[in-house]
Amino acid sequence: MAISSDNKFLFEVRRCEPELVVPAKPTPYEFKQLSDIDDQESFRFHVPLLFFYAGNPSMEGSDPVKVIKKAISETLVFYYPFAGRLREGPGRKLFVECTAEGILFIEADADVALHQFGDALQPPYAFLDEVLYNVPNSDGIINSPLLLIQVTRLRCGGFIFAIRLNHTMSDAFGLMQFMNATSEIAGGAFAPSVLPVWQRALLNARDPPRVTCRHLEYDQVVDTKSTIIPLKDMVHRSVFFGPTEISTLRKTLPIHLRHCSSFDLITACLWRTRTIALQPDPNDEMRLLCIVNLRCKTSYLPVGYYGNAFAFPAAVATAGKLCHNPLGYAVELIRKAKAEMTEEYIKSVADLMVIKGRPNLTAVRSYAVSDVRKTEMEKLDYGWGKALFGGPAMGGVATVPGLTSFYMHFKNKNGEQGTVVPFSLPAPAMERFVVQLDALFKTKP
């Protein structure tokens, strides 16, 4: 069982002054409303992503900073809302003023080579602030740049591409659509192969709004036991699930569940083990929020739609039942929750947002998981080849950072392809988590 250690790998970065990259050609000045899924409280935060690239002899003489900056400027002609600024209207409704002010861009250099990173290529990243500098006053939700990008050259000829997204604008699929467009234009294309589609009204509340589904993920639970821990007091690790770990977990399940997906397996394992490690009262309700993308469920949205298009159907169980039942119990709860995600479900969420004033997700005794493997972030290529690793740098949902874990493709140092999952827990719980998980994979089914 490979669990990352507390990697403190740090290095110095020399940064140029941040600049604004604007669209390469004039773009329309207009106002574009976000959907009622986009502007919910749970998405009002910035999410950081990192991509690591090795040097490529065929690109000698090419500067990744110049290549990427030029490609972004040209791509913003098509994705011009990203160059604008968010404003807030009545009822906390968000909309983009397409001002063409541009996105923030930072050119940087680091006197370090990729081989020195070792296991630090996978999250969590002690050096995140160095390779993705938080420009002062740039991280507001409204009236701030919607994207921040830093490209850091490494002495080996490789580079780190870091991006920070205002989550209200796009989900992982939408962001990757934009980034794939930049890579195509960097490669010589005159336009993206998939043209962007706004049409956010498709995921607006109905008139009149009507909540037709049960949304356990938005239950307002009072934190009477101080279960929400500040991010600074958390320990951050990541766990690698390779073919051996997946096979071991699958063998613990009854025959009728053994064909379940790797997502169901990993999620059940983490939710159950995490609950054991947290040692809650056996009668406490634990929530598992399954982030399910509508694009993967239906063809309701047009190709090119780059807004948020997912919901958080919740699996709920008491801590006692979750801890004392076998893994298959959690798998069945997760599969049932995922099956709830339909067009009707996400429309019901949009209606709930309008009726209840855009409430936040339930944070008390909750854990959210998001599988971004299907976005294939690691395939993003600016001419230097595919990324050695690409994905979110940390978890977070609005006011509760660390609540979410992302599932990402990762090749470990033995060349084994698998899934890496970063997560956060209070220090004593993290120690128990590591022990529990280690015992799970050493015990024969």
Q: Which amino acid is at 289?
A: L
CB 312 within 8 A of CB 217: yes
CB atoms within 10 A of CB 259: 9
Measured CA distances, 383 to 132, 159, 349, 424 (Å): 22, 12, 41, 35
Q: Among 200, 190, 203, which residue's Cα sits nearest to residue 78? A: 190
Cα separation, 94 vs 444, in Å, equals 53
Rounded Cα distance between 194 and 305, Å, is 10
Q: Is 129 a catalytic residue?
A: no
Q: How many CA atoms lie within 13 A of 283 on its CB side?
A: 0
Question: Are the beta carbons of 116 and 158 closer than 8 angstroms?
Answer: no
Q: Coil, helix or strand for 191?
A: coil
Q: Is 236 a catalytic site residue?
A: no
Query: Taking the C-alpha atoms of 198, 201, 204 and 208 in order, what is their torsion angle to the nearest 10 degrees?
Result: 180
Measured over all CA atoms, what is the biggest interatomic distance in the chain, rounded to whole angstroms?
A: 64
Tell me how far apart the alpha carbons of residues 386 and 378 are, in angstroms, rounded to a whole number: 6
Quote the CA–CA distance of 289 and 369 in Å, as a whole number: 6
Question: Residue 379 and residue 316: Cα distance in Å, rounded?
Answer: 35
Out of 36, 46, 167, 409, pick the active-site residue.
Answer: 167
Q: What are the residue numbers of the active site?
A: 167, 381
